[in-house]
Amino acid sequence: MSLSLYKKKRDFKQTPEPTGGKTQIGHLVFVIQKHAASSLHYDFRLEMEGVLKSWAVPKGPSINPADKRLAMLVEDHPYDYKDFEGTIAEGNYGAGRVIVWDNGTYEPLEDLEGKKAQEKHLLKQLEEGSLKFRLHGKKLQGEFALVRTHMGKNTWLLIKHRDEYAGTTDITRQNESVISGAVLEDVNKNNRTRTKSPPAEKTAGDVKKKPAKTPREKTKA
């Protein structure tokens, strides 16, 4: 478990993103963020060993078992990222708006007592490249799998299992945040940004692009 890559990619004087967080006892959590970075994608995150294991899913999740959604494994994110919603300013890694599209708890399919045992099992599945779990979210429910492909160690597929929560409707059409009700397009307009910029820069309006003090590589996050 390490957040070193996460921290290396970000300048916390420039981005409102969280730096850490202490996990809660009880249930393992998941979060899916909708992120309008250089290209729109969904970030699928599962709590494991104190951090959020993360995959970027360009098309977002599907509840149709016939769909196999590309999911690129990215760097671990801090636990507190589960509540992050706002704007990452231009010039920063992953610049763009973020909403919490879905969240809740999750568990392995096997009946294992306690979070420790569940995590141990899930970490083994992660290592093996085949994770199977049950989501208890507001939009997503039931069994899903994340399966590593042969196209590369970070290239995975997100697949819905056949169960009573499977269907053919496009779940991403439910586009509002589960914590604020905002849609992605609202984030700037309602000034729902948690920027640490000095007040002078905030008042000028959201559309103005602020040049970063240190130019950073602009990459999809």
Tell me the two tokens of residue 188. Answer: 């700037």
Candidate ranges 36-44, 46-54, 114-122, 204-212; the one touching Mn ion (CB under 5 A) = 36-44
- DSSP β-bridge partners for residue 157: 70, 147
By C-beta, is 157 or 166 nearer to Mn ion?
Answer: 157
Residues in the interface with Mn ion (CB under 5 A) total 3
CB of 64 to Mn ion, least distance (A): 23
Distance of alpha carbon 143 from alpha carbon 4, whole angstroms: 31
Tell me the two tokens of residue 8. Answer: 């290396």
Q: Which of 157, 20, 153 is nearest to 81 (CA)?
A: 20
Tell me, what DSSP letter sits at residue 183?
Answer: B
Pairing of strands 51-57, 69-78: antiparallel
By C-beta, is 32 or 63 nearer to Mn ion?
Answer: 32
Q: Contact at 8 Å (CB) between 3 and 78?
A: yes
Tell me the two tokens of residue 185. Answer: 């397009």
Distance of alpha carbon 157 from alpha carbon 145, whole angstroms: 8
Tell me the two tokens of residue 43. Answer: 């970030």
By C-beta, is 60 or 108 nearer to Mn ion?
Answer: 60
By C-beta, is 168 or 219 nearer to Mn ion?
Answer: 219
Q: Nearest-CB residue to Mn ion? A: 35
By C-beta, is 43 or 107 nearer to Mn ion?
Answer: 43
Candidate ranges 43-51, 77-85, 161-169, 211-219; the one touching Mn ion (CB under 5 A) = 43-51
By C-beta, is 35 or 121 nearer to Mn ion?
Answer: 35
Q: Which one among 88, 89, 140, 221 touches Mn ion, defined by CB under 5 A? A: 221
CB of 114 to Mn ion, least distance (A): 31
Q: Which one among 43, 85, 107, 143 touches Mn ion, defined by CB under 5 A? A: 43
Element (H, E) at 116: helix 115-128
35 sits near Mn ion (criterion: CB under 5 A) = yes
Residues that bind Mn ion (CB under 5 A): 35, 43, 221
